[in-house]
Each structure stands twice: as C-alpha cells, then as structure tokens.
Chains A and B, each alone.
Chain A
Amino acid sequence: MSDETCPGVAPEEPAAFRRERSFRLASVSWAMPALIFLLIFLVLPLLANIARSLPLEDPFQHYARLLGDAYYLGIVRQTIKVPALTAVACLIIGYPVAYFMVRHAGRWNALIVFLLIAPLLTSTIMRTFGWTVLLGRRGLVNAWMSDFGMIDKAVNMVNTEWAVYLGLVHVLSPFMVLSVSSVLQGIDRRLEESAQILGAGRLRVFLTITLPLSLDGIATGCILVFVLASGSFLSMLLLGGGKVTTLSLLIYQQFTLTQDIGFAAAMGNVLLLLSLICMAIQLRFLRRRGV
C-alpha cells in the first residue's frame, strides 16, 4: 500500500534503487496481458452497459423510473436491507466460530478451515436447492417436527423471507469466518495477557482489546458478505418465492422475462455503484490502519 519510493530524478541513485526501478518497469509490462484482458472483457462491457442504460431519446428515463417509482425504490431499499441483515447474521454466527478456531481449536484448526472451504467447491445452486429439499412441505424438517409431535400439519417453510436469509447466511458465513479468523490470528496473545495482568477480566479483555483489534476482519467480512449477498439472486429465486425481490433478482427477471435490457442495465449500474461504495469504505478502513 504505502509506496515510499518517489519517482524523483536524482542523477546518482544508489544501486539498490536503480535495480528496484527497472524491476518495476518490467513488472508493469508483464501485467500488460492481464490489463488488456480486463480492458476487453471488463471495462469495455461495463462502459457498454452504461451506454445501454442511457437511451438517446431520453437519457435518464431508466434511472428516473428506478429511483422515482415507489415500487422500484422499495426494491433498492430491499437490496440494501437484505445484504445488511445477512452480514449481521453472518457476523453473529461467524465471529464465535472464528474465535474458537483461532483460540481453542489447536491442531483441529486445519480441519475446520477445510470444512469451511469444502462447501464452497460445490455449486451455490446445489447448496441452495438443498434447503428446498430440507424445508419443503414433505421435507426432512417437517417430517421430524411431526414425528416429535411439534406440529400437526406440515408448515410451509420454503418461499418465505426466513428461507432466503437462511440460504444466504449458509452460503456466505464461511467468508465471514475466514476474514475474521485471519485477523484474529494476527493478534498477539501477549496483548491480551498484558491487559489481563493489568487487571482486566476475560470479558473486559475481549471488549477492550480483542474486539477493537479485530474490527478490520469484521469490516472486511461484512463488506464481503454484503457485496456477495447484494449480487446474488439464487437464494431469492429458489427460496424466496417472490417474497423477497432485490435488484439482482429483478435484473435477472428483466433480462429473461421482460427483455427490457436498458432498464436492466440501469439497475446493474446502481448495483455496481453500491458495491463500489462498499469497496471505498473498505479501502478507507485499510488505509486508516496503515496496512
């Protein structure tokens, strides 16, 4: 991050500097293929998308509709609310797991990391679809609950808001655990021990030392989960049954059903803006810490 070497033109640079400079030049040219790839397949399509969202006859009609119409504004609000709540839920579930992993798991740590990552190798569709099997009217959960006499009649659990959150949290909580645990790992235990010897009990140590020092991981995890949740539509599509509509789901629908490509492009750009704001927040966070 911190780039101290200035591009000054001192005539007599030390040898080490010169070597570093030429190395840098080389590294920029090595990055060219990747840059060209990104230009063609990322930057140009994004620009095209912006152009598409601004039709010549009335450039801002799509944006006006999106942000003026109460229905669409509600969806934009939903697009912030659902990922935000998902991030909070992931944090509440993921932080203790990460803490346990780093502080108490010892040699089981590697196993837990494996168990966290392994599900990421199967497709999200499969994992989300699994919930419809479990939660369905004739699914495992209903069967158990009626076996134990907790319910008389099968309860509908799919196609509810709850199911959407369940699906999102399930898919995204590993990201939270991994980002929090990587930061927890880096906290020197002796800081906690110093606090303890200065008179702090376990809870005070956690609240005054461990938690503040892991804020970076919390922020990273929350932003990651937020961005991924706001971009995903599978949980809403498969588990929400129309009860939860966010921009990404709407884009999917606009594209496949209505074929209103200009409007879909405008929504895509709003979504992109949302993600960029998140990234900017995270960058600020990192910069403040001087990482």
Chain B
Amino acid sequence: MMESVPLTLRGIAKRYGTAHALKPTSLDIEAGEMLALLGPSGCGKTTMLRIIAGFTAPDTGQVLIGNIDVTDLAPNRRGLGMVFQSYSLFPHMTVGENIAYGLKMRGINAAERAHKVRDMLDLVRLPGFEDRQVNHLSGGQQQRVALARSLVTDPKVLLLDEPLGALDRQLRENMQFELRAMQKRLGITTIIVTHDQEEALTVSDRIAVMQNGEIVQTGAPTEIYERPRNRFVSEFLGTVNIFDGDLVASHPDDCWSVRLALPGAPVVKVAGSQGLSVSKSVRVAVRPERLRLNGSNETFRACIRSSVFRGSYHAYELDIAGIGGPVYVHSNEPVEVGDDGMVGVAWPQGHAVMFGRDDGR
C-alpha cells in the first residue's frame, strides 16, 4: 500500500465572470485524513474539487499534494482517484474492464491487472462481478464499482463528489459506514463533498463548512455540531433554536451571563467567544435535544403546539409568548402536559453557543 500524503490548498480562488465560485481559500488536510466539504448547493464544493483534480485551473493559489506543487500538472499526472456523483462508469466496458482501465493506462500487464481487479472486487464486496455489464448493476453496485475503479491505482488522494447522493436512504447509511471503514483501512487521504450534514458527521474526521464560495468553519464533527461559529453553520448542521439575548456579566471561566429575550427574562450561562463586551446584543443557539422538558430548574414556560413521535425520540414544537418562531425540543421520553397545555423548559449547562447578531447571515 502507498504512503499517505497530506494535501494543501494555498489561497486558491476561482471566478466565473464577476461571480466568485470560490473565494481565496486555504486548507490543510493531513495524511490519511477524511475531510467532508459540506455546504448548500452552489457554494463552490465541486469547484474546489475540480481545482484539486486539475479540471479547472484556479485564478490564484496553489495545490500541493504531498508537499509537491501540482497546480500546473494535467489531471492524468496527479495520481488521484475520483468518484463522481453519477459514478461515470464506462458504459462500453464490463465491470472488470472499468476497474482495470487505470491499470491499463499505467502499462500493467494483463495477469497482474486481473489479479488486482479481483482483489478490488473482494474489497468492495462484489466478488465475481468481472464480466457483468455496468448498466445492469444496481445503484449501490455501480457505486462500489466506481469506488473500486478509483482505488485500484493506489491514488495518493481520493476525491468523492457526492458519491452517495443517488442512493436511497437505507443503502446510503450502510455505504457511509462502509466508506468510512474502507478509508480507515486504506489510510488514504480523502475529501468527500456532500450537502447532507448527517453524512458529513458520519463519515469524516473533520468537516469544512462552506458558504458562498468560502470555508466558514473547519473542525471535528462534534465541534462543528456543538460549537458552530455562526448562525449559518449552526442551522446547516441540523435543527437549532436561536434566541436573542444581551450580555450582562462575564465570568472568570470564559463564560458569560446572558439575559434571554424570553418571558421572565431568564439569565443563563453560555460559553463565550472572542470580542464580546457587556451589554452587547448576541444570539444564543441551542440544539433541540439539549433542552429538557418538565425537569427541575425550569428556565421558562411554553405551550406545546404539536408533538410528533419520530421513532427514536419525541419532537415537540413549543410556542412562547413574545418570540417569533416556534421552539423545538427533542425528548427521549414522552412529556406529561398539564391542563393548561404548558410545560417547563430547562436550560442545559454548557451546551449552548452564542454569536453576534449579524454573524452568518
């Protein structure tokens, strides 16, 4: 197997006309790391991947693979593997010929090709599929063949552009775990593009969240999920409740007391970030599964508007007098509601984050 190599982007940028498809972006991906590029449609994920692959020349900046500058190298000389969303299997070749294509281009003899193809098909759990026609395969099988084709040449870096996008939910979840396991086993530096936050959280070591052609935050999945840097990131990674508030006091442990704009003006403790000062207006974000219903220490009261059983949890939609939108709470246990339809909501310690009023809008 090949030694893992790091991938470095130094200030790469791309414009189409006057529109910035990718603003100057730098990113370091460690050897053997799996990084997810996560962002909404049109934020520049594919553009970044195509620049790394060499299909699109960046206006500025450099791409380094294993500390070698490959910015001016043609795609066929970069030693990468890539899987497109549509798999792009060669329709005029069998499964075996598809996988062997990259080996053939490297001048590897037929016997060794056959051997490696067999190994690869075992790896992606499609043994004996060599002579199948690719357009007779199911979506999941095509996906595996595409993966095998990109891995057989021992690429230095693997690029996956929404590789699971065309699969149904069940298969996608299985493939996420398989992909993750395979990547760890091979130790290959990998970038996976996705606009599905669950997928990003499941498969990657690190997530880079993109918005409007730039990376707004990178970090481990838990960090991105629990400590989003702005409102966009917090909302993109899942349902979140956002409250307005004012800073009232700072604490020595880097936390702040925040007075929430809720009935009763409760004051809660929230971990702080840089550049804050007393009486500054902030927004506080808290995940629905962190709020507790009917516990002790209730922070505010709310009226249950609706509740849905979602299998692994109960989802409640709460109305609070005086604030615009509903508040969402996910609870493992069903909640007893009083005659007045009101419940108490308890604020979680250490699970809320805050950011400035206009961050990430």
Residues of A within 8 A of B (CB): 188, 190-191, 193-201, 204, 208-209, 212-213
Contact = CB atoms under 8 A, between A and B. Distances in A.
Nearest to A213: B92
B88 A190 contact: yes
6 contacts: A193-B75, A194-B82, A194-B90, A196-B74, A197-B82, A209-B90
Contact of B105 (A188, A191, A198): A198
Contacts of B102: 198-199
Contact of B76 (A188, A199, A208, A212): A199
A232 B352 CA distance: 82
A187 to B, nearest CB: 10
A195 to B, nearest CB: 7
B91 A197 contact: no
Contacts of B80: 197
B153 interface: yes
Interface string B90-118: 11100000000110011000000000000
Given A191-B91, A197-B150, 5 more contacts: A194-B82, A195-B90, A198-B105, A198-B150, A213-B92
Contacts of B86: 188, 190
A198 B149 contact: yes
B153 A193 contact: no
A212 B92 contact: yes
Given A190-B84, A190-B86, A198 B92 contact: no
B345 interface: no
A204 B78 CA distance: 16
A12 B84 CA distance: 44
Q: How large is the interface on B (under 10, 10 to 19, 20 to 34, 35 or more residues)?
A: 20 to 34
Nearest to A212: B92
B309 interface: no
Nearest to A208: B101
Q: Which 9 A-B pairs have the closest CB atoms?
A: A198-B102, A199-B105, A190-B88, A194-B88, A196-B75, A197-B82, A200-B105, A196-B76, A190-B84
B53 interface: yes
A194 B106 CA distance: 15
A188 B86 CA distance: 10
**Dominant secondary structure of chain A at its interface with chain B:** helix
B75 A191 contact: no
Nearest to A205: B76
Nearest to B106: A199
Contacts of A209: 90
B75 A213 contact: no
Most chain B beta carbons < 10 A, residue from A198, A200, A212, A213 = A198
Contacts of B92: 212-213
A200 B101 CA distance: 9
B313 interface: no
Nearest to A290: B135
B81 interface: yes
A190 B149 CA distance: 14
B17 to A, nearest CB: 14
A238 to B, nearest CB: 42
Contacts of A200: 76, 101, 105
A197 B91 CA distance: 17
B242 to A, nearest CB: 40
B84 A204 contact: no
B177 interface: no
A191 B88 contact: yes
B227 to A, nearest CB: 36
B153 A199 contact: yes
B90 A197 contact: no
Contacts of B153: 198-199
A196 B88 CA distance: 12
A271 to B, nearest CB: 34
A286 to B, nearest CB: 15
Contacts of A197: 53, 75-76, 78, 80-82, 150
A267 to B, nearest CB: 40
Contacts of B88: 188, 190-191, 193-194
A173 B288 CA distance: 67
Contacts of B91: 191, 213
A201 B82 CA distance: 16
Interface string B195-237: 0000000000000000000000000000000000000000000
Most chain B beta carbons < 10 A, residue from A188, A194, A196, A200 = A194
Contacts of B150: 197-198
Contacts of B76: 196-201
B84 A194 contact: yes
Nearest to A190: B88
A191 B84 CA distance: 9
Contacts of B82: 193-194, 197
